[in-house]
Amino acid sequence: MSRPMAQGQTLDGAASSGLARWSRSVNIGGGIITLLTIIAAVIWAFPLYWGVITSVKPEADVVAPGIQLIPQAVTLENYIHAMFNTSMGRWYINSIVTTVAITFLIISMGVMAGYAISQLRFPGRRLLYLIVLASFMIPFQALVVSHFVLMNDFGQINTWLGVILPQLVYHPIVLIVYKQFFDMVPREIREAAVVDGANEFQVLFKIYLPMNWGITTALALVTYTATWNQFFWPFLVITQEPMMTVTVGITQVDDAFGVKYARDLAVALLGAIPVALAYLIFQRRVTQAIMLSAAIKG
């Protein structure tokens, strides 16, 4: 009787030893991953930190030799100059108006076109969708000349419409995402609503759209961010400083005695604030959109 017990105790000891070794390896692996994550986060955040501390330094400290990771003197003079001695306020208005308009129009057109291609049956539906997919193969630079000529012919140079209209065709991914989402919704839902007397607009805005508010928020955030950061087209179509957007206007902040690094960084950080705030506010909605999409696919 004693021998089986000894063997059982030996097996239990071996299992416990193996479990302990596995736990130690997991802890070591997790520690290494955590350390690498921290290092990557520090590397990613350092340029942002450097920009912030540089923007609050006097210009003499910025150009002084050596590296100052902690500013010896802090001043808001650069931000005050950016807000009151430049056209930053007007640039903000231009960027907000054009960005909000572009985001609203792209989301509105994307949801309606995606619903039509997904749920309705009409001649040329597949061809239309193939054209949308083919638009990915056309580089933005190939359209710049034609867009500029059209805006010039329509008299929309140095206007909000001149900035807005051409950018409405730069985001076909919005239509594709909506189409894929609507394809995953059971068709019985639409058929039941139609039987009850609902028209297509009621089905879309009262049934389908409320089902994907998370995806709509995520697409709106991505479109808003990309539009706010757009530089090339606004730079081409806007030549008058009062009509410039923030991304173009910050290139006009200069000084008669040369480049002012702290002042330029202050202007750049002020221009990035709306995008950062939008992401922080709607970050949870983006996560919900991803979870919702996964649940529907499941």
pLDDT tens, position by position, 220-257: 888 888 899 899 899 999 988 889 999 888 887 765 44
pLDDT in the model for residue 198: 83
pLDDT in the model for residue 153: 92
- What does pTM read for this prediction? 0.78
Tens-digit pLDDT profile for residues 192-216 = 888 888 888 888 888 888 887 778 8
Q: Label residue 64 by pLDDT band (50, 70, 90).
A: confident
Q: Which of the four CATH numbers 2.60.40.10, 1.10.1040.50, 1.10.3720.10, 1.10.10.60 does domain 77-297 have?
A: 1.10.3720.10
pLDDT in the model for residue 259: 65
Say which range, 11-15, 23-27, 59-63, 203-207, has the weakest mean pLDDT.
Answer: 11-15
Q: Which residue has the higher pLDDT, 188 or 111?
A: 111
pLDDT in the model for residue 54: 87
Q: How many residues does the chain have?
A: 298
Tens-digit pLDDT profile for residues 136-194 = 778 777 888 888 999 999 999 999 999 999 988 878 888 888 888 888 888 888 888 88
Range 86-113 average pLDDT: 91
